[in-house]
Amino acid sequence: MNMAFCAFRKSFKLFKWWVFLRPFSVMLIVVVMVGVLLLVQTKMKDFRHKNGIFVQFDVQEKVGMENLEPMKVQNGSTEAEILSTSVSPYHDWELFAANYEEMMKKLKIFVYPDAFMSNNSSIFSSIFLPHTDPFDPKLGNYFSEHMFKIALLGSSFVTKKPEEAHFYFMPFSINVMRNHPRVHSASAIKDFVAGYTDRVRSEFEFWNASGGADHFYVYCHSIGRDAASKHHELHHNSIQVTCSSSYFQRLYIAHKDIGLPQVWPRQHEEVLNPPDARYKLVFFAGRVQNSLARRDLLEQWKNDSSFDIFSGSSSFPYREGFRRSRYCLHIKGYEVNTARVSDAIQHGCVPVLISNYYDLPLANILDWSKFSVIVNERDIRHLKKILLSVPVRTYLNMYKNLGIVRRHFAWYSSPKTYDSFHMTVYQLWYRRGLHPVTW
């Protein structure tokens, strides 16, 4: 009884203290929460900077226009310092390399025989045969489309035994059709592709076995996107490997289709200009009529002396723009893609991607945020602040990563390890064994 009374008194005392503290305790909790929030925010910022992602989130706090001039890489950012903060451009290099090795051992692709017919056997043979001169400057933008076929036919993936193949390649070229006297219009291309698919379906048993889900075709000409639209199974099941990989487009299905690196032909590797020899902040040259975003860019930045922005061609050699600038813009034109991304990568100029809905090639292997800056089209007016807010250390790391990833943005007639051909084929390998949609 006594003890119970004591306990009661004790708790009553505590209760009195609690009554007394209660108003303060709310304040205390608020203070602690604000402290924790601030701490988390600072840590997150460090994290973002260290990892080079979402640079645009720091725009607000950065200084105004008066601080913009010095753009040389400051001294003190030594090679050793870069190495110590090195961030890989890969999501998971080891996992990728192991899968790649397995692919090299196992992957088999069957090519429909049209790719091997003699060049005089039909007026359509040029549509299926490998191009005899892919380095022809007129093909520049469509180089990747032709190089894929040439590299594939010269690779060890091709099998003569279709029943052992993981994939079936339909070797028509949209780019050749586009210039073919008998096929060139958009609607004739659709009919031709639908007709060819029906022929494959009736002459070989492999299409019906998968509903076309293990069949693929490759193109860099954006008109190819509509090519499948007259064939239900081709559109819904087959894999289109395309330079115009925009997930805004109804006819591109991101998890099924594959983005193809668009590469301008070059005969030899560029020697990289070091960061401190780059005295311009930004370079861009291209037709501004092609998009609103480009007109917006010109309007906003044509007067700024740290920007080299040209409507049409530059007043100096194109290559020089990539050599003397720290950042090179890839800004959407008619389509999300241009060869400027790989131009920038090959010249060690950090690409700035201003192209909403671009399903970036190789994004499941490469972490683009570690070697490029991605800017929303509506933030063009903040471009300078965004770029100047990238810490020098992050910039140097991105520059270094360009030297690592550039081998993925090059094509060779005899394919080399980890080149554009192998990286693209790896995207197929990744999709092996998928089942067709049934409807």
Residues making contact with ligand NAG (CB under 6 A): 75, 118-120, 201-202, 205, 208, 276, 300, 303
CA dihedral 119, 121, 122, 125 (to 10 degrees): -30
At closest approach, how far in Å is the CB of 329 from ligand NAG? 17
Nearer to ligand NAG, 23 or 274 (CB): 274
CB of 125 to ligand NAG, least distance (A): 9
Closer to ligand NAG by Cβ: residue 82 or 243: 82
- Residue 166 CB, nearest approach to ligand NAG (Å): 20
We find the least distance from the C-beta atom of residue 277 to ligand NAG, in angstroms, to be: 10
Cβ-count burial of 417 within 10 angstroms (0-12 exposed, 13-18 middle, 19+ buried)?
A: exposed
Task: Give pairs for 252-259: CB < 8 Å, separation 24+.
Answer: 252/225, 252/359, 254/359, 256/431, 256/434, 258/216, 258/424, 258/427, 258/428, 258/431, 259/359, 259/360, 259/361, 259/362, 259/363, 259/427
Question: Minimum distance from CB of 220 to ligand NAG (Å)?
Answer: 21
Closest approach, Cβ 303 to ligand NAG, in A, equals 4
Minimum CB separation from ligand NAG for residue 129, in Å?
Answer: 8
Q: Are strands 325-331 and 280-286 parallel, antiparallel or unpaired?
A: parallel
Residues ≥6 apart with Cβ < 8 Å to 304: 384
* In the complex, least distance from residue 84 CB atom to ligand NAG, rounded to whole angstroms: 17
CB 115 within 8 A of CB 153: yes
Nearer to ligand NAG, 42 or 132 (CB): 132
Q: Which is nearer to ligand NAG, 340 or 393 (CB)?
A: 393
Q: Strand, coil or helix: what is 33? A: helix
CA angle 16, 22, 28 (to 5 degrees): 140
When the beta carbons of 28 and 65 are compared against ligand NAG, the nearer one is: 65
Q: How far apart are CA 377 and CA 296, in angstroms?
A: 9
Cα separation, 385 vs 74, in Å, equals 18
Per the CB < 8 A criterion, the answer to whether 215 and 207 are in contact is yes
Q: How far apart are CA 266 and CA 253, in angstroms?
A: 31
Distance, CA of 190 to chain centre: 27
Q: Is 123 helix (H, G, I), strand (E, B) or coil?
A: coil
Q: Which is nearer to ligand NAG, 278 or 422 (CB)?
A: 278
Count of Cβ atoms closer than 10 Å to residue 361 Cβ: 29
How far apart are CB 76 and ligand NAG at their closest, in Å? 8
User: Smallest distance from the beta carbon of 172 to ligand NAG, in angstroms?
Assistant: 17
d(CA 51, CA 431): 29
Nearer to ligand NAG, 101 or 276 (CB): 276
Residue 78 or 376: the one with the smaller Cβ distance to ligand NAG is 78
Q: From CA 273, how far away is CA 283, in angstroms rounded?
A: 15
CA distance 401 to 87: 8
Closer to ligand NAG by Cβ: residue 192 or 206: 206
Nearer to ligand NAG, 121 or 376 (CB): 121
> What span, in angstroms and rounded, lies between the C-alpha atoms of 162 and 108?
9
